[in-house]
Structure 1
Amino acid sequence: MTIRPMLTALILYLVPACALGQQTDSTAARTINLPQAVELALRHNHVVKIASLHVEEEKHAKEVARSAYLPTIRNDSTFAHATDTQFIA
């Protein structure tokens, strides 16, 4: 069986080539001041995001409660179409 050693050699050749082909993150670390750091932390803080979503949810709940005072129109109708061919036996 000469296929197995050739396959092993091919894999050993391609794996390092794939690893070397990946690009590295070449961005340098940026410097920020305190207000920028606070703004960045608040923007990415999950607790703040959840709290703002709760506030928005309560606003929508208030809109739903107010809409109960408005008049509503309801239509419960059905449509049936009968042709003469349906009654032929």
Structure 2
Amino acid sequence: MSIEEEELVYIIEDSGIGNPKHELSFIFDSYFRASNSNILNSHGIGLAICKEIITQNNGKIYTDSNDMGSRFYFTMPIQH
């Protein structure tokens, strides 16, 4: 976590299979599952819920990914 320009910035990183670059624009859509996902009990709603909570609190969420894992960033405004 860091503070940048009146925002808290969080970075969450994993070392999983990553997400295909051409699918990153859909990763926060409800019911989206990446084409390389083999988890049968996934419903594709977790990241959509995260995005909804963060945007309702005036934050932002985004990601980058490669075959070595994913990195998710989200920001929340500092309220005075």
TM-score band by shorter chain is: under 0.3
Q: Which is helix-richer, 1 or 2? A: 1
If the length of structure 2 is used for normalisation, what is the TM-score? 0.24
**Rg larger for:** 1
Q: Which is strand-richer, 1 or 2? A: 2
If the length of structure 1 is used for normalisation, what is the TM-score? 0.22
